[in-house]
Amino acid sequence: MPLPQKIYVVDDDQSIRNLIASYLIKHGFEVETAENGSVFLSLFQSKSTAENSNALVVLDIMMPGMDGFEVCRQLRNRSNVPVIMLTAVSDDTDRILGLELGADDYLAKPFNPRELLARIKAIFRRSQSTKNQPKVAERFCYFNQLCLDTLTRSLVCNTNQQALSGADYNLLMLFIENAGQVLTRDTIAEHTRNRDSAPMDRFVDVHISRLRQCLGENAKTPEIIRTVRGEGYVMATEVQFSSILNTKLESC
């Protein structure tokens, strides 16, 4: 029997916690709340890997003590659980920083609970689709002396593994499946967030930058994910697939 979808709601405002929790419970989710980052991290750590395998975190940025950025940073050191960050700041600086730290999406306060629900469902839907319908025939994808293990969702080099967040893995798979084809910003936004890229929305650019860092790319002269000015981005390297792991990769 599949585990229920669990949502952790982390916000120092009790009224917001209660509002989100009651709304999500009403729509069939299992919800646990925490009033600050320390309480949440302890709560999350106390759960088994199986319990957190079908979870998502709604995380407020502006909290006393440990803010949402630090919580996200520490969380990413131990888990790739999806994170939606809540921000009360209209400037996109906080949003960009959150995305750079590994958040999967963001939502500005005040927000409509229906929009939060839609984004949660979209993330779970993409995650489930990736688990149930692998789009490559072989487990290992080789490109530019790198190897992506599609089973563990990690980049592999000899005995070293670098786990990818769900968002980074999905974006990399999009490029792998369309290697040599230019992907527009709207195509990438639709694939990663189920909506078009707004003219002033830097989500796609930040996400590309984060993926390049995972791949060890030089931001000024990227070799794998290249920018096509005025059009979008392209995976400019050949991709090969295999069921066997090559343990003699020279670099990651």
State the average pLDDT over residues 28-55: 94
Most confident of 23-37, 138-152, 238-252: 23-37
The rounded distance, in Å, linking the Cα atoms of 22 and 24 is 6
The rounded distance, in Å, linking the Cα atoms of 208 and 9 is 27
Q: Where in the chain is the domain with CATH 1.10.10.10?
A: 140-242
The rounded distance, in Å, linking the Cα atoms of 221 and 218 is 5
> Which pLDDT score is estimated for 200?
45
The rounded distance, in Å, linking the Cα atoms of 36 and 135 is 39
Predicted model pTM: 0.63
Q: Return the CATH number of 140-242, one of 1.10.540.10, 1.10.10.60, 3.30.413.10, 1.10.10.10.
A: 1.10.10.10
The rounded distance, in Å, linking the Cα atoms of 68 and 236 is 36
Cβ 223 vs Cβ 237: under 8 Å: yes
CATH topology of domain 6-132: Rossmann fold (3.40.50)
Structure tokens at 58: 């709604």
> Which pLDDT score is estimated for 199?
47
Q: Where in the chain is the domain with CATH 3.40.50.2300?
A: 6-132
pLDDT band for position 76 (50/70/90)?
Answer: confident
A 10 A CB-CB count for 206 gives: 18
State the average pLDDT over residues 140-156: 88
* 196 has pLDDT over 60: no
> Which pLDDT score is estimated for 22?
97
